[in-house]
Amino acid sequence: MPLLSTAMKGFIALKAASKAINGTKFTLLAGSIASASCKYVLASAMVTSTNVALGPGSGTQTGKVSGLSEMLMSSLMTLKAASSGLTGRDIQKLFSAVSFGVVQGMKTALLQGTLVGAGPGSGTGKIINLVPSALTVILMGLCAGQSLSGQKLQALCSAISFGICNHIMINGLVTVTDIGVAAGPPAGPVSIPALPGIGRLV
């Protein structure tokens, strides 16, 4: 299943319900967070990988995201929020719900990439190119479209974006499967270590 904002919003709402967080404004906020996160990750995130594959040849890559933690993402949000004076039990509950939804949503994302110089094999990738301030701009825009406002909204959006982007880049891993055909003898197949790959999440 690809990365879908509707699924991510559902995951956020599920965790929020367990913490007695509800209401029309929360539903609008959850939808804005899910939509902004999915839109930004799909548009901007790049996956760079190192692979061991058979070659020479050429092929494509697929893979899934792992290594993400609701607790670690939430902790980054809390750290950023504290620097802006946002504290309290309810904010912790909100960050926990958002982090759970984003982490579960990211687990559904799939890698689409290419591998030049070799065919079948496997590798490990990292997610790069995420900028918290860019996600904050998208999130603020979506919140404004839902008539969500307030003195502390920008600080809240900034904290959420900081946690999402940095945790995905620091802890997110992509388990890569390389698909393709290696050349036959006499050119190949030969094992090629440390072969770079590049892709995007869908």
**Among 171, 197, 178, which Cα is nearest to 49's?**
197
Give 1's pLDDT tier (boundaries 50, 70, 90): low
Q: Could you tell me the residue ranges of all domains in the chain?
A: 5-201
Helix H or strand E segment including 63: strand 57-66
pTM across the whole model: 0.95
* pLDDT value at residue 88: 80
Q: What is the pLDDT of residue 180?
A: 92
- The confidence score (pLDDT) of residue 58 equals 85
H-assigned helices in the chain = 5-18, 24-44, 70-83, 89-106, 132-145, 153-171
Kindly report, residue by residue over 104-141, the tens digit of the pLDDT: 999 999 999 999 899 999 999 999 999 999 999 999 99
Per-residue pLDDT reduced to its tens digit, 28-82: 999 999 999 999 999 999 999 999 999 998 899 999 999 999 999 999 999 999 9
Say whether pLDDT at 17 is over 70. Answer: yes
